[in-house]
Amino acid sequence: MQPHHSETPTQPSGTLPLGQRVLRRLHRVPPVLWPLGFGGLVLAGATLLHFVDPNEPGHYPTCPWLMMTGTFCPGCGTMRAIALTTNGDILGAASMNPLLLLLGPYLLWGYARWVWTAVRPPATPPRPTPIWFLWALVVTITVYWVARNLPWFSFLAPGTPLFPGW
């Protein structure tokens, strides 16, 4: 009786492809470390923006969309808005990127929910985000993107005061 030969090459026992080894190691990381690590990176970035002013040229790269097209993307002004927020200037931050301040509470809520479910996993899987909410978010960002580049909505451009005279 001859041994069974497989057509696919087998690997020596005990070795796995690199991708599988990486996935196994990632699954060993405690789930709470992912949101805490992400929060630490965000905090480090906000601290950097607090101490290194994005209004001074040469410290940070220019928005690639703005460089290529000359128009503002939905994220233009976000770095300066975060820097102003860390200094307590909420109105100044709103003038840089009003959408960021409108979405800020939802982003914080989503992050808090992520941390909470990592610390105390629910007994049942969380409900997925409704598709209508995701579509509404895409439409809102797209309308904002177009509107902030139109002359009638120039108050949405970065640096334009939302409330002149305040």
Q: What is the pLDDT of residues 31-41, one digit of tens each?
A: 888 899 999 99
Q: String of b and e for 127-159 (b: at least 16 CB within 10 Å)?
A: eeeeeeeeeeeeeeeeebbeebbeeeeeebbbe
First to last CA, the chain: 91
Q: For residue 108, what pLDDT is reported?
A: 94
The burial class, CB within 10 Å (0-12 / 13-18 / 19+), for 75 is: middle
Mean pLDDT of the chain: 86
Q: What is the pLDDT of residues 104-115, one digit of tens each?
A: 999 999 999 999
State how far the Cα of 75 lies from the Cα of 148, in Å rounded to an integer.
11
Rounded percentage of the chain residues whose pLDDT exceeds 70: 89
Report CA dihedral (43, 47, 49, 51) to the nearest 10 degrees: 180
Q: For residue 58, what pLDDT is reported?
A: 86
Q: What is the DSSP letter of 57?
A: T
Q: Where are the beta strands (DSSP E) in the chain?
A: none
> How far is C-alpha 125 from the chain's CA centre?
23
Q: Are 34 and 118 in contact (CB under 8 A)?
A: yes
Closest CA to 118 of 33, 57, 5, 55: 33
